[in-house]
Amino acid sequence: MKWLMDKLNELRAARLRRTSPWQAELADLPTGLQSYWRASAPREYEGIRTDAFFYTRAAEGLLRFFDAVRHSGRPCALPSEAADSVWHAWLRWNPVSLERFCLRHFGAVVPHVERAALVGNALLHTFSACRERDGIKPRSMRLPALFALDALLRMPGGHGYWSRAGEIVHARLNERGRGMWRAQPHPELALTVLFAAGVVDRHLLAAHLGRREAGADGSSCGGMAFADGGDACADGGGDGGGDGGSGSSCGGGCGGD
């Protein structure tokens, strides 16, 4: 059965490369990078899948991040461990190739900055830039694709983000890549912060405050409504692993400047 799943994932990866908005950039990825990533990533990210579809989706996420850095013009935090796994592998395998690729497709080298060195609001910068690049309107709380990536791929130890009851919530994913039930509002992406930064408009903020007031009266089902197609059953209620999903951490790994 493994050979069948591998073949299926290769077909899914090929389809993604054909249909992705990053088709040209994905086609220009160095030939040997995938093999190096497959061999090295499990040593750094325990339990990570190494099939062709996971790699292609993670690499696409890294391209989205590089584009967000270019579009923002400010320090940005990468909200995906899956995408970061490709970045780390590329840096170890051939950093000169990475620099040339960034210059060719994004006009500048994106330096790899460790989380401890990131400035404040780096995650907000990424969120704002990704929403703009994904064409998300100020009245929508839809997540940018990059922020949904780790939960989509069930990345072990990754960063799970969801739009829930008018707030962006976050949890570190467990060893099975699950964590929705432990997710808490992320302080760096609070609706008031997003409004102050001009990411969302006043109508969205007013609607959220109205829901919160209704919740205080016990009429909002405990605030557990899920937006953007979120399914209260999708997570399965797993609660192992991760860091407890406090939502008070950076919510991202490394970053770019």
- Residue 39's pLDDT is 97
Residue 177, CA distances (Å) to 60, 136, 156, 173, 180 in order: 19, 26, 4, 5, 10
Q: Rounded to two decimals, what is the model's pTM? A: 0.82
- Residue 229's pLDDT is 27
Strand ranges for the chain from DSSP E: 76-77, 159-164, 167-172, 184-185, 255-256
Question: Comparing 43-52, 160-169, 228-237, which segment has the lowest mean pLDDT?
Answer: 228-237
Question: Comparing 120-124, 150-154, 164-168, 233-237, which segment has the lowest mean pLDDT?
Answer: 233-237
Residue 187 structure tokens: 């302080």
Strands 167-172 and 184-185 turn out to be: antiparallel
Give yes or no for a contact between 180 and 160, defined as CB atoms under 8 angstroms apart: yes
The structural domains of the chain, with segments of one domain joined by +, span 2-17+29-232+241-256
Residue appearing with tokens 């703009």 = 132
Beta bridge partners of 116: none
Give yes or no for a contact between 164 and 235, defined as CB atoms under 8 angstroms apart: no
Strands 255-256 and 184-185 turn out to be: unpaired
Average pLDDT of the residues in 28-32: 96
The amino acid at residue 213 is: E
Give yes or no for a contact between 177 and 151, defined as CB atoms under 8 angstroms apart: yes
Q: Is residue 257's pLDDT more than 70?
A: no
Q: Is residue 88's pLDDT more than 80?
A: yes
Question: Comparing 3-7, 30-34, 95-99, 205-209, which segment has the lowest mean pLDDT?
Answer: 205-209
pLDDT, one tens digit per residue, over 123-138 is 999 999 999 999 999 9
- Residue 240's pLDDT is 34
Average pLDDT of the residues in 202-224: 60
Cβ atoms within 10 Å, residue 247: 22
Residue 136, CA distances (Å) to 3, 132, 140, 141 in order: 39, 6, 7, 8
pLDDT, one tens digit per residue, over 219-251 is 433 332 222 222 222 222 233 333 333 222 344
